Structure 1
Amino acid sequence: MLKTIIMDFDGLIVDTEVVWYHIYVEWFRRKKGYDLSVQEFLTCVGSNSEDLFRKLDAKGITVDRDAFAKDTSAQFIEQSSHLPAKPGVEDFLKQAHENGLSVALATSSGRKKPTVHLERLGLLSYFDLLVTAEDVVRIKPHPDLFLKAAEKLGSTTEECLVVEDSLNGLLAGLNAHMRVLVVPNEVTKYCQFQGQYRLCNSLAEVDVARLIAEF
């Protein structure tokens, strides 16, 4: 029986991944004379930039992490500060609560960013719990975020549905032995997803009551 929905944030609730992708591509082209591919960028989607930077280091493209953060952080904040919620998100959250489900957010980022955006969009009250990188030792693709959310909400792994947009998120859900609904965005649509419970183009396509009946 479905009891808990555990949702990612970046690229699922707000389309921040597309903003980051364009910032990364521009920075590498300008600072390194390097054309970063979408497949390379996908390395860090759902996880963190260090996974990408280590791979580039091995190719001789060294990234000063502090300089990168200084060059890009303010730009990201400016470009993402007015992003709307993605289509279907608020209705999906409303349906979840109308059907008696608990809802958690589980993100590989820190707590401040999703909290600010969820408050701005009037969505924070829909979440019973926020679990972030500050709450676990390992982030996605490790299962720790999802397992922590389930534990705190008193649900078994079989009672949880993970909703994700990235391959690292899907892997984290599978590693937690949870079913995963994948909703790709304009960047993560290039991932090769395998093993998901279901894949759809938008949360606007999802009827929560039907999801519960079929779970």
Structure 2
Amino acid sequence: MLKAIIMDFDGLIVDTEVVWYHIYVEWFKKHKNYDMSVEEFLTCVGSNAEELFQKLDRQGIHVDRDAFVRDTQQRFIEESGALPAKDGVADFIHAARDNGVKVALATSSGRKKPETHLRRLGLLEDFDLFVTAEDVTRIKPFPDLFLTAASKLALSPVECLVVEDSLNGLKAGQNAGMRVLVVPNDVTKHCKFEGDLRVCDSLAQVDFNALMAEF
């Protein structure tokens, strides 16, 4: 029986990944004269940028992490501060709650960003639990965020559905032994999603009653 929905934030609830992608592309072109591909950017989607930066280091393209944050963080805040919730998100969350299903957030980012956006969107009180990078040692693609959420909700993995937009998120859900619903965005649609999962273009397409019947 489905008892909890565990949702990602970036790129799933609010389309921040597209904003970040354009910022990354422009920063690397300006500061490194380097054309970053979407495939390279996907390395850090759902996780963090360190793996990407280490790969570039090995190619002789060194990124000063502190300088990158200084150059990009404020622009990201400005460009993402008024983004709407993605299509179908609010109805999906409300359908879960109407059916007695818990709703949790599990994100590889810190707590402040999703909390700020969800409060702005009027969705903060719809979440029963937040699990962020501040709560675990390992982020996605490791399963720790999702397993911690299930544990705090006193549920088993088979009673939870992960909703994700990224390959790292899919892997984390699969590694946690949970079913995964993938809703790609304009960046992550370039990923090759494989394994035991369901993919849809938008949460607006999801019939929650039918989803409940699958468990």
| Shift of residue 207, structure 1, vs aligned partner | 1.2
Distance in 2, matches of 1:205 and 1:99, equals 18
| Shift of residue 111, structure 1, vs aligned partner | 0.4
| Shift of residue 195, structure 1, vs aligned partner | 1.0
Alignment partner, residue 190 of structure 1: 190
AA aligned to 1:54 is Q
Distance in 1, matches of 2:93 and 2:160, equals 15
TM-score w.r.t. length of structure 2: 0.99
1:34-183 alignment runs, 5 A limit = 34-183=34-183
Q: Does 1:207 align with 2:202?
A: no
Identity of aligned residues (%): 72
Distance in 1, matches of 2:157 and 2:172, equals 12
Distance in 2, matches of 1:131 and 1:88, equals 22
Is there any run of 5+ residues in structure 2 with no aligned partner, and where?
A: none
Is there any run of 5+ residues in structure 1 with no aligned partner, and where?
A: none
Alignment partner, residue 33 of structure 1: 33
| Shift of residue 83, structure 1, vs aligned partner | 0.2
Q: Which runs of 4+ in 1 moved over 2 A?
A: none
Q: CA RMSD in A?
A: 0.5
| Shift of residue 154, structure 1, vs aligned partner | 1.0
Distance in 2, matches of 1:195 and 1:146, equals 18
Distance in 1, matches of 2:54 and 2:78, equals 27
| Shift of residue 85, structure 1, vs aligned partner | 0.2
